[in-house]
Structure 1
Amino acid sequence: MIGYLRGTVSHLFADYCFLDVQGVGYRVFIPYSTRQKLSAGNSAMLFTYLHVREDALLLYGFSSQEEYDLFLQLLSVSGIGPKVALSIMSAASPQEFRRAVSQKNIALLTRLPGIGKKTAERIIVELKDKMNQELDASDNPESFIQNGTGHDNGRQEALMALMALGYSQAELMPVIRKVTDGTESAEEIIKRVLKEFGRR
């Protein structure tokens, strides 16, 4: 599984881009929210999901871990495939979608592309608890990762490294807030967070 790609955006289209990684051009399908953050000729890092079909290998990319996580959650719902998941994410932000699910707002969900009433009901049944947990943790992880200081990159790096170890974003964010003030290095943050988890 390809976890992420870092390279230069060589071409940008409506629902995909070509990402040049050391001379290899990857076609990566992207939601509208990610597309808005990309521009041809500039470098980018995308969290990626490889979808394997009998006739093709399709790569989907996202500008944030939050978008990637939501994509996987949508795929876990019976009847929702990558194309529908991408369409949903292009029509609503992760925060808007979580609120709709948490509030059991079927009317709003059925306005999203590819979602009928039965699918909306299935989404609520299968994802409501997860959405509630994530809303309780934080609507936007960037609110504590980025506060205008040059040292906050440590929080971003630590978050990504700890999630790679199997921890979820929802359980990590409150702990990172508790044990840091935004000036620590990624290594120090990881040590503190693991120590905090060890006390539980």
Structure 2
Amino acid sequence: MIASVSGEISQILDGQVVVSLSGLGLLINVTENTCLNCHLGMPQTFHTYLVVREDQLALYGFATAEERDLFVHLIGVAGIGPKTGLAALSTLTPEAVRRAITADQPEIFARVPGIGKKTAQKIILDLQGKIQPLEPLEAAFRLDDVDTEVLEALTALGYSVVEAQAALQSISREENPDVEERLRKALQFFS
């Protein structure tokens, strides 16, 4: 297995980068966030995972070993391939993935392109106990029905799940307004 690759970025493509090292150019599939942080000509280290198929070898690279480990866990779930695993880590932060699994929140995974409600539940069922939170879970991170509706509304308006969660966390939990009021306050977060 190729655990990591260090070299100079020679080309940036859509969801992929080419890393040059010792006259060899390696094509590495990366998350959107990793791709945005890559700059031509700059040295970069990727924590990698090699996927071997009968017709191809594909290298997947991540900014941190934690992201790579989560990717390996995700693609270990039946029905989740490397592209869907990469999409999950492009849409959600590693902490959001951990929180969704440990807090049993399939609605978070269901917002990832290529993952439906049943697959989201399967991910959580398969990975509970294998994935530990980075910090103790607090009740503040558990989405109630009102927050779930606000999260759905924000993602329908084009915000990413991560952006929507940040907006929800900015709203005081002591207040218990209705969906419309929480949505209004979440939208104010973006202005």
Q: Please say whether Structure 1 and Structure 2 have the same fold, judged by a TM-score greater than 0.5.
A: yes
Q: Which has the higher helix share?
A: 1
Aligned equivalent of 1:7: 7
Identity among equivalent positions (%) equals 39
Runs (4+) off by over 4 Å: none
**Offset at residue 118 of structure 1 (A):** 1.3
Does the Cα contact within 8 Å between 1:47 and 1:61 map onto a contact in 2? yes
Q: Report the TM-score when normalising by structure 2.
A: 0.68
Are the equivalent residues in 2 in contact too, given 1:49–1:60 (CA < 8 A)? yes
Partner of 1:135: 134
Give the whole-Å Cα distance in 2 for the aligned partners of 1:88 and 1:77.
Answer: 13
Counterparts of 1:46-57 in structure 2, within 5 Å, are: 46-57=46-57
Take 1:63 and 1:106, find their aligned partners in 2: how far apart are those partners? 25
Task: Using the TM superposition, give the Cα deviation of residue 136 of structure 1 relative to its aligned residue in structure 2, in angstroms.
Answer: 3.9
Residue 66 (1) aligns with residue 66 (2) = yes
Structure 2: gaps of 5 or more residues: 138-191
Give the letter aligned to residue 47 of structure 1. Answer: H
- SS of the residue corresponding to residue 79 of structure 1 reads coil
* CA-to-aligned-CA distance 1:35-69 (integer Å, 9 cap, x gap): 13211110001111111111111111111101111
Determine if contact 2:102/2:133 at 8 Å carries over to the other structure: no
Q: Is the CA contact (8 Å cut-off) linking 1:7 and 1:19 kept in structure 2?
A: yes
The equivalent of 1:106 in structure 2 is: 106
1:33–1:93 contact (8 Å) kept in structure 2: no
Query: Using the alignment, how far apart are the partners of 1:29 and 1:137 within structure 2?
Result: 32
Displacement after TM superposition at 1:32 (Å): 1.2
The root-mean-square deviation of aligned C-alpha atoms, in Å, is 1.6
- 1:83-142 Cα distance to aligned partner (Å, 9 max, x none): 1100111111111111112221122221111111111111111112223x243489xxxx
Say if 1:18 and 1:27, in contact at 8 Å, map to a contact too.
yes
Aligned to 2:81: 81
Q: Provide the C-alpha distance between the structure 2 equivalents of 1:137 and 1:117, rounded to a whole number of angstroms.
A: 26
Change (3 A) 1:137 1:5: farther
